[in-house]
Structure 1
């Protein structure tokens, strides 16, 4: 299927590892120009070079997305460098899964407000696009209570609510807004590899919950994200796409 991405411009936060990195790679493979940011400046440089090798324009910057000014500057400069913005993917999470006040503060600053600020900063450019889309990365922890702390799940649920509200508000402008809720996703250097090494009991318990007997790969999640963001999904807005291998038991009505 042609996703209609050739020549479009995509911005991805947290684009150097895991789901974000695979989103950037798939966008580039489909012919979209890509801008990424992450805190790891060396990782940004390596990723940008890999994306350019796919024959598209690619830029990146080291950014702490909880810094509103740095985030807005990256969005504005990326739009200037790429000559516009068509799609944004808010992928960064603080992964604040503890049950303490610090987790609430980090989850609000990173998971929630970076997503809101990314949308706000990109809006003037999205309004000029004929294929504008907003995709926020939520989590199955926002759908049901699990072993993560209360702050993490609460903010992931809030992202779904926020995106649905944006979908209703922006539909007359032709701007789509959706969320993707991944299940447990395993990759090199990711949180689940760390848990596997340092808390094997928790890892085994989490793995046993999934009837597929495994966790997702970041590429499996990223393919759903890119499809949802693309013009091939042009009438899908206000949707929360759950990609979890039947992990969650709640029924979405």
Structure 2
């Protein structure tokens, strides 16, 4: 299937590791020019070197999405440099699980406002595109109550609501969809840390999935890339759960 992404311009937040890195790679492999950001300047530089070395058209910047001015400046700079924006993927999360006041604030600034500010900054460019698409990354923790039912799960649920609202408000102009992954394992990721630091929780989480494993970042990235592409031209307002049958609720 031709995803019709050749020559498209995409922005991805949190693009140096895990799902975000896999999304950057997958979009670029489909022919898109991809600009991504992350907080760690060294990780950004390393990722740009590896991806350009693999023949991909990418550029990166050190940006904290919780800094609204910096995020808006990055989006505008990318729009100017690339000559427009066709796709934005809001991927960054504070991964704040315990219900402390600090975690509630961090989740609001990073997960929620980071998504809203990215979309609002990119919206003029997206509306000028003939294939504008927004993809937000939520989680199965936003869909059902689990061990992350505090700040993380609450704001992941809010992101789904926000995105579906965008789909209706922007219908016919810009598509907006959410991908909700289940547990995703990659070296250096949260589940790799839990495997070492809290093996009981890791074993419990692994045992809940009937596939007997967690997802790989590339498996999530392919779902994101399809929804971001013109090939998904009539899909908007959807929350695509990619969890290997981990969740049991019926999504009506």
Instruction: Provide the C-alpha distance between the structure 2 equivalents of 1:150 and 1:14, rounded to a whole number of angstroms.
Output: 22
Instruction: Provide the C-alpha distance between the structure 2 equivalents of 1:33 and 1:43, rounded to a whole number of angstroms.
Output: 19
Tell which deviates more after alignment, 52-61 or 72-81.
52-61
Give per-residue Cα distances to partners, 1:89-117, cap 9 Å, x unaligned. Answer: 00000000012211111110000000000
Instruction: Provide the C-alpha distance between the structure 2 equivalents of 1:54 and 1:171, rounded to a whole number of angstroms.
Output: 37
User: 1:107, 1:152 within 8 Å by CA — same for their partners in 2?
Assistant: yes
User: 1:59, 1:78 within 8 Å by CA — same for their partners in 2?
Assistant: no
Tell which deviates more after alignment, 52-61 or 39-48.
52-61
Per the alignment, residue 42 of structure 2 pairs with 42
Per the alignment, residue 206 of structure 1 pairs with 205
Consecutive unaligned residues of structure 2, counting only runs of 5 or more, are none
TM-score (norm 2): 0.98
Per the alignment, residue 136 of structure 2 pairs with 136
1:191 to partner: Cα distance: 0.2
Instruction: Provide the C-alpha distance between the structure 1 equivalents of 2:51 and 2:198, rounded to a whole number of angstroms.
Output: 35
Q: Using a 3 Å threshold, how does the CA distance of structure 1 residues 248 and 49 change in structure 2: closer, same or farther? A: same
The CA RMSD over aligned residues, in Å, is 0.9
The answer to whether the aligner puts 1:197 opposite 2:182 as a matched pair is no
1:49 to partner: Cα distance: 2.3
User: 1:9, 1:86 within 8 Å by CA — same for their partners in 2?
Assistant: yes
SS state of the match for residue 127, structure 1?
A: helix
Per the alignment, residue 148 of structure 1 pairs with 148
Instruction: Provide the C-alpha distance between the structure 2 equivalents of 1:111 and 1:189, rounded to a whole number of angstroms.
Output: 20
Consecutive unaligned residues of structure 1, counting only runs of 5 or more, are none
Instruction: Provide the C-alpha distance between the structure 2 equivalents of 1:69 and 1:22, rounded to a whole number of angstroms.
Output: 26
The 4+ residue runs of structure 1 with deviation greater than 6 A are none
1:75 to partner: Cα distance: 0.5
Instruction: Provide the C-alpha distance between the structure 2 equivalents of 1:224 and 1:172, rounded to a whole number of angstroms.
Output: 22
Instruction: Provide the C-alpha distance between the structure 2 equivalents of 1:82 and 1:32, rounded to a whole number of angstroms.
Output: 11
TM-score (norm 1): 0.98
Per the alignment, residue 118 of structure 1 pairs with 118
Tell which deviates more after alignment, 51-60 or 189-198.
51-60
Instruction: Provide the C-alpha distance between the structure 2 equivalents of 1:118 and 1:76, rounded to a whole number of angstroms.
Output: 10
1:54 to partner: Cα distance: 4.3
Per the alignment, residue 249 of structure 1 pairs with 248
Instruction: Provide the C-alpha distance between the structure 2 equivalents of 1:153 and 1:185, rounded to a whole number of angstroms.
Output: 15
